[in-house]
Amino acid sequence: MDVELRWPTAADRQLRAEVHRVLHAVAERGGAIGYAVPPGRAETDAWLDGALGLVDAGDAALVLAVLDGRVVGTGSWRRGPKPIFTHYADLEKVTAHPAARGRGIGRLVTGALIDDARKAGVETLALGVRGNNHGAIELYERLGFREWGRLPNVIEVGDERYDDVRMCLDLGREPHVVLRGSAPDGPGSSPRRT
């Protein structure tokens, strides 16, 4: 398998068409990548433009898996939306075109995103995966993610509902960072009222 990873910072007409082809095919097969129905070109172009804008600002990365000159997989990480969450990022739109499944594209894309997020100073990487996507959950677990929660039956696919399984991966942090978790001290704390 000679899959090449590309990290685009701009999109021409061909790249837009290739990304659309992958996202549309995955959604058409029922992939849980954020679309209730297979997206049109305008939707995937808007997503791509948004992702590339965040890449340009240093708040995201986009990786594409390319096989025989064609995009066959996508994935991105995106920092949290507020300044207090810049150390945190979400994995999004990790896909493999249905015709390219079974070639390790999901593992390759996710592994590259983990490495890139770590280099960018991200401390915690998180994702949501549909509860019935046991293959993806297993892949993420093999890469070190752990389940931290589950929103039961919140992902809508027509008249069916599925769990949103939340997973995270600790990427490490600078030695001076103090981890307080839920300790009842520090800025913004308040005592329990009994």
Strand order of the sheet with strand 146-157?
4-6, 60-67, 70-79, 88-96, 124-130, 160-170, 146-157
Domain count within the chain: 1
Reported as a single tens digit per residue, the pLDDT across 70-100 is 999 999 999 988 888 889 999 999 999 999 9
Residue 183 maps to a domain: no
Residue 63 has pLDDT above 80, yes or no: yes
Residue 189 within any structural domain of the chain: no
Q: Is residue 185 part of a domain?
A: no
pLDDT band with cut points at 50, 70 and 90 for residue 182:
confident
Residues 6+ apart with CB under 8 A from 27: 33, 35, 37, 38, 39
In a domain, 191, yes or no: no
pTM confidence score = 0.92
* First vs last C-alpha separation in the chain: 61
**Each residue's pLDDT tens digit, 118-172:** 999 999 999 999 999 999 999 999 999 999 999 999 998 889 999 999 999 999 9
- State the pLDDT confidence band at 190, using cuts at 50, 70 and 90: confident
Give the chain's mean pLDDT: 93
> Is 84 domain-assigned?
yes
Cα atoms in the Cβ-side hemisphere of radius 13 Å centred on 167? 23
Query: Chain centroid to CA 113: how far?
Result: 8
Burial class (CB in 10 A: 0-12, 13-18, 19+), 127: buried
User: What share of residues in the chain are helix, strand, coil (percent, to 5)?
Assistant: 30, 30, 35
Percent of the chain with pLDDT over 90: 79
Report yes or no: 172 and 118 within 8 Å, Cβ to Cβ. Answer: yes
Residue in 4, 9, 136 with CA at minimum distance from that of residue 71:
4
| Host domain of residue 148 | 4-170
Residue 194 lies in a domain: no
- For the chain, how many helices (H) and strands (E)? 4, 7
- Would you say residue 45 has pLDDT above 90? yes
Q: Do the domain assignments include residue 14?
A: yes
Confirm whether 77 is domain-assigned.
Answer: yes
Answer for the pair 123, 179: CB distance below 8 angstroms, yes or no: no
Place 1 in a pLDDT band, splitting at 50, 70 and 90.
low
User: Could you tell me if 61 and 116 are in contact, meaning their C-beta atoms sit under 8 angstroms apart?
Assistant: yes
Q: Cα dist. 65→48, 71, 112, 123 in Å?
A: 15, 6, 10, 25
CATH of the domain at 101: 3.40.630.30
